[in-house]
Amino acid sequence: MKRNVVLTISFLIGFLFVLLQSSNSFAAVACSLNDPDRDVKRVFPNSTGYKTKLTSIKEIGGDKLSKEIEGKLGDKLDPLFEASDVPHSFYTIMKGKETIGYIHGVNQKGMYGGMQIFLALDPKGKIISFFYQKISSPDANKFKDAKFTGQFKGLMLADFYHHDEMKGNECSEDKIAKIKSPSENNIKDFQATLRGIKMNLILCDKLVTSSSKTT
């Protein structure tokens, strides 16, 4: 009887270990579009197709690139969702043989749970469209509203760097400072959104658009 109890406990411990390992593995995968055919055509109506590329910080530049990204982000990378070996899905949007843009998403911790923040960029890295594939918030509709998301159209990574330099100073050219949270009760999700968009732009710059300029 005791032997059976011990075996049962051992089995349960082993099962839980495998389950935890599996859940961590799934959690450590960067964003992919739920329906890329639909989303690509919605954002790029003139596109004729797209190519998907999987890459990671580790593959492109390893620990050195991780440190560089942290410096540009102004924050530590999340050890799970933003680890250097996490694979990132980049969608290169085509019109015939011409590249007309990119789509990429990042996971971001919000006040009420995880966010999935997607950007569509033109070939020069300018935001064409910004949308949440997932946001866990009682004010989700306010954040998803085009009146809020549309304010990011036309912004580039340089605008976020300029915003960092101008923090604490009034500057008419600080485009990020002009964007306010769509919910006064949920400033943390707004701050998380800004971080997620900036992180997304940095990753696109370092893993896709910069490398494409040198090839």
Residue range 70-81: mean pLDDT, rounded: 94
Residue 162: per-residue pLDDT? 96
Average pLDDT, the chain: 87
CA distances from 127 to 34, 41, 189 (A): 20, 16, 20
- Please state the three-class secondary structure of 70-86 as a single string: HHHHCCCCCCCCCCCCC
Q: What's the rounded Cα separation, in Å, for the pair 188 and 34?
A: 26
Q: How many CB atoms lie within 10 A of CB 201?
A: 27
User: Quick one: which H or E segment has residue 54?
Assistant: strand 49-55
Residue range 94-144, pLDDT digits in tens: 999 999 999 999 999 999 999 999 999 999 999 999 999 999 999 999 999
Q: Quick check: 172 and 162 in contact, CB under 8 A?
A: no
Query: Nearest-CA neighbor of 102 among 113, 93, 111, 115?
Result: 93
Indicate the pTM of the whole model: 0.84
Whether residue 188 has pLDDT greater than 80: yes
Q: What is the DSSP letter of 32?
A: -
* Distance (Å, whole) CA 82 – CA 11: 33
Which residues, other chains included, contact 175 with Cβ-Cβ below 8 Å and sequence gap of 6+? 155, 159, 162, 163
Report the distance separating Cα 215 and Cα 211, nearest Å: 7
Which band of pLDDT confidence, cut at 50, 70 and 90, is reported for residue 25? very low
Residue 207 — φ and ψ, nearest 5°?
Answer: -100, -15
What's residue 208's pLDDT?
83
**Cα separation, 183 vs 110, whole angstroms:** 14
Residues 177-206, mean pLDDT to the nearest whole number:
96
Percent of the chain's residues with pLDDT above 70: 83
